[in-house]
A and B are shown apart, each in its own frame.
Chain A
């Protein structure tokens, strides 16, 4: 097969992989690196469960990204968010608000909200709605998710810490 080597940094660890051109990031993360926190959902950009963050903390969909295009780049997945097993304020807010039902969409929602907080630590209700559009909770638990993100914004502001509180990017 027509494979080529790529170097991909995931949550700070650099991986050398031989990938075929048609392999997507979500396939590489789950099927090769065993990082199954990133879910495979609609594979057509409409559900957001495969959301990961790039070097600049932007949200993107791992089902619509070819691994070969990510050679030399760094991404953060849900496995890279908690620091030393400690939940970040954002994750803590999800926990405390009960913003989880079956949990399948939760990693994508956390990575989506993380991108929002990194870009806009003072996100208001409108910004939260806008950022979360594109993620679907089929248990229909969106209200609590929105409450959780708003709580994280408030908690981080109260702590005087305008970031998501987790480790360095990449």
Chain B
């Protein structure tokens, strides 16, 4: 009997039983002709589970994932090749802490998942020749949060990543996944059955928005905490696709558009994040219903170079408030011109409200968001003022 035939026999032995296919059949014979037992190595494999799981999982139930193919690339080049070949029919799977939920909710139906989690090219924190830090896009958040260099040089980033989800989530979630987090809203990020109670929205193929009835655009929120911190730190991204690599400032990566929140091209991967470590002080704050697990109702990251009296550069960014992380350029100018003094901090906090422009009532009212912005900016700048200036050399 051919190997393929005996394997397929082994798999089909019990057509309704989805529990572990037996390596040894009822009479103690190995239907694979010994192959299965051999690949289990020295230690005997547990051969089958008796009795349990006889009921096949109900496919299509919202508890289960839809069907897809899965491939694990051995190199970055291989991953990029598959992404180019499959185009929009493929999705990138990193830590999966967001993508698997989106799949369960049937927000996308890729034919193929390309699992980039273990690619060596995407791992780790390395100092570069120019002093910047190179953060591999596949590095788990826990690794980044615990990195001593990152904690000391980029406190805003360490705090932002520490605030993501729970420890369980951070242990597998990656930086690249965090930066590519889709925008969220209270209509679309639900199970399929919930969504089907209403006609599809702009994001799901319809022509209405259920959050803002009059809108012809999608205003879903960008809630990536890493994005807010990295934008304040002036980070750049390295993007790769089959046979091409480009670099883009994070400022040019995000778009104020709930449907297409980044400028990432189809078939392209974020491979690394470069963060300059020019001496600067930075901080990140998040206001959320609970300290653990929740997305922010509003987040802020701020970074300044110089002393409290003479600030030479300032970047202030708000997150979870619009469809992109919002740079508060008016507030930045006030701090850059007037320093980190109590009066300028107050003025910058006031200016933040104006910098925000139009806001939606998604998740919290526009009025609340404006008040929150003022409080966040005030607290962040006050925290920076308290940080030792020596660090600002």
Contacts and interface: CB of A to CB of B under 8 A. Distances in A.
Contact of A45 (B68, B72, B101, B142): B101
A2 B113 CA distance: 13
Counting chain A residues whose Cβ lies within 8 A of the other chain, the interface size class is 35 or more
A22 B172 contact: no
Interface string B24-50: 000000000000100111010110011
Interface string A147-164: 000000000000000000
A32 B53 contact: yes
B69 interface: yes
A7 interface: yes
Nearest to A48: B168
B289 interface: no
A31 B19 contact: yes
Contacts of A2: 67, 69
A95 interface: no
Contact of A112 (B115, B142, B168): B168
B65 interface: yes
B292 A134 contact: yes
Contacts of B364: none
A61 B20 CA distance: 22
A18 B36 CA distance: 11
Contacts of A63: 100
A60 interface: yes
Given A5-B39, A17-B20, A27-B57, A133 B167 contact: yes
A21 B69 contact: yes
A45 B100 CA distance: 10
Given A34-B52, A46-B293, A60 B172 contact: yes
Contact of B63 (A16, A40, A58): A40
Q: Give the dominant DSSP class at A's interface.
A: mixed
B234 interface: no
Interface in A46-98: 46, 48, 51, 54, 58-61, 63-66, 68-69
Given A3-B11, A65-B96, A22 B65 contact: yes
Contacts of A45: 97, 101, 165-166, 168-169
Contact of B115 (A14, A23, A69): A69
B216 interface: no
Contacts of A40: 63
A43 interface: yes
Contacts of A33: 20, 46, 49, 52
Contacts of B290: 133
Interface of B: 11, 18-21, 23, 36, 39-41, 43, 45-46, 49-53, 57, 63-70, 72, 93, 96-97, 100-101, 104, 113, 115, 117, 142, 165-169, 171-172, 290-293
11 contacts: A14-B43, A21-B67, A21-B70, A33-B52, A45-B168, A59-B171, A66-B70, A68-B115, A69-B117, A133-B293, A134-B168
Interface of A: 1-3, 5, 7, 13-18, 20-24, 27, 30-34, 36, 40, 43-46, 48, 51, 54, 58-61, 63-66, 68-69, 112, 115, 130-131, 133-135
